[in-house]
């Protein structure tokens, strides 16, 4: 039979579906491996060595990081090869050796005053947060939130009881803020003409700081739980107010809520709660 007449066993679309199904089975490995690469200092090292133009071998990475475990280069290579396959890193072959640099996605995880997703990654990959996903089935069957079902308390109660977890949460909310707020402030003009703005659930005030810096005629109220705002950085035109937003919120010309509604059921906000 002419090879051109043979029928393929599967179509390209079916092959893509098979690969996608397999990827689903290993998807949890990607953020876990990436978190380890961040915690080990690999991402910042590659950034310092040229970012996308960096070309470091696993052995060089281990030496630069002061890792003496003789098996480290092999493990690092397996980690970075996985991340390269998802475009977090670049991988260049030099003979039989793999050389790694930053990929298009990893630039958002480099420590920078312009914003970084690294603290958010650390928070979301924390054991307590990961454990919350194991409460999802219970939430579907019997109600409640997955996090509370798995951990016996809400995420905010956990933060109030554990200062280290609270810091992790606050940093995770703060650090990536410039990445998207600066874009929003360049194109959104709704703050013009207002005198006061209240950031409801504003954490330690990073979002409000960016707004006030952009609009010098505004005064701001950063409203969050008392333990959150207690040690928040000061700003000459910002007042930190502690309270419970399910009971009352401050009055202002503009009420700003960034990611609050993902934490609370809609029914909590069906009645006016302005203080």
> Rounded CA gap, 192 and 196, in Å?
11
Query: Taking a C-beta distance cutoff of 8 angstroms, is the pair 185, 212 a contact?
Result: no
pLDDT beyond 80 at 83: yes
Report the share of the chain in percent with pLDDT over 90.
77
Q: Work out the pLDDT band at 77, boundaries 50, 70, 90.
A: very high
Q: What residue ranges define each of the domains in the chain, with the CATH number in brackets?
A: 12-107 (1.10.10.10), 112-174 (no CATH), 177-269 (3.40.50.150)
pLDDT beyond 70 at 243: yes
Closest-CA residue to 45 (of 119, 109, 104, 93): 109
| Higher-pLDDT residue of 267, 258 | 258
Adjacent-strand bridge partners of 102: 89
**pLDDT attached to residue 253:** 96
Angstrom CA distances, 17 to 10, 20, 86, stand at 11, 5, 17
59-70 pLDDT per residue, tens:
999 999 999 999
pLDDT beyond 80 at 1: no
139-170 pLDDT per residue, tens:
999 999 999 999 999 998 999 999 999 999 99
Mean per-residue pLDDT over the chain, rounded: 90
Half-sphere CA count of 174, side-chain side, radius 13 A: 18
> Rounded CA gap, 100 and 89, in Å?
7
pLDDT beyond 70 at 13: yes
Which residues does 274 contact at the CB level (< 8 Å), separation at least 6?
Answer: 248, 249, 250, 251
Sign of CA dihedral 131, 134, 140, 141: negative
- Under DSSP, is residue 221 helix (H, G, I), strand (E, B) or coil? strand
**pLDDT attached to residue 51:** 83
22-45 pLDDT per residue, tens:
989 989 999 999 999 999 999 999
**pLDDT attached to residue 246:** 79
- Under DSSP, is residue 130 helix (H, G, I), strand (E, B) or coil? helix
pLDDT beyond 80 at 264: no
Q: Work out the pLDDT band at 268, boundaries 50, 70, 90.
A: low
Report the share of the chain in percent with pLDDT over 70.
91
Q: Work out the pLDDT band at 267, boundaries 50, 70, 90.
A: very low
The whole-angstrom distance between residue 128's C-alpha and the CA centroid of its chain comes to 15
**pLDDT attached to residue 8:** 64
Give the containing element (helix H, strand E) for 49: none
| Arithmetic mean of pLDDT, 111-122 | 91
- Under DSSP, is residue 146 helix (H, G, I), strand (E, B) or coil? helix
Query: Taking a C-beta distance cutoff of 8 angstroms, is the pair 80, 37 a contact?
Result: yes
Interior CA angle at 113 toward 44 and 209, to 5°? Answer: 150
pLDDT beyond 80 at 4: no
Angstrom CA distances, 214 to 8, 105, 185, 200, stand at 60, 28, 8, 19
Q: Which two tokens stand for residue 26?
A: 């290993």
């Amino acid at each position: 039979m002419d090879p051109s007449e043979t029928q393929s066993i599967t179509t390209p679309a079916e092959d893509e579906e098979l690969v996608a199904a397999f990827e689903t089975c290993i998807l949890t490995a990607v953020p876990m491996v990436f978190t380890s690469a961040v915690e080990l200092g690999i991402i910042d090292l590659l950034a310092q060595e040229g970012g996308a133009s960096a070309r470091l071998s696993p052995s060089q990475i281990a030496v630069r990081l002061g890792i003496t475990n003789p098996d480290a280069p092999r493990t690092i290579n397996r980690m970075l090869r996985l991340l390269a396959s998802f475009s977090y890193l670049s991988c260049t072959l030099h003979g039989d050796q793999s050389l790694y640099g930053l990929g298009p996605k990893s630039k958002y995880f480099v420590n920078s005053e312009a914003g970084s997703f690294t603290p958010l990654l650390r928070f979301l990959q924390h054991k307590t947060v990961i454990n919350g996903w194991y409460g999802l089935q219970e939430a579907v069957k019997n109600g409640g939130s997955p996090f509370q079902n798995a951990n016996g308390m809400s995420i905010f109660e956990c933060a109030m009881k554990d200062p280290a977890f609270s810091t992790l949460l606050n940093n995770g909310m703060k650090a990536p803020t410039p990445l998207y707020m600066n874009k929003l402030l360049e194109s959104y003009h709704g703050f013009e003409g207002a005198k006061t703005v209240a950031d409801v659930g504003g954490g330690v005030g990073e979002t409000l700081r960016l707004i006030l810096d952009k609009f010098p005629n505004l005064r701001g109220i950063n409203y969050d739980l008392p333990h959150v705002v207690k040690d928040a950085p000061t700003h000459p035109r910002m007042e930190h107010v502690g309270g419970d937003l399910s009971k009352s919120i401050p009055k202002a010309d503009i009420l700003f809520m960034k990611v609050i509604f993902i934490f609370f059921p809609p029914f909590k906000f069906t009645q006016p709660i302005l203080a």
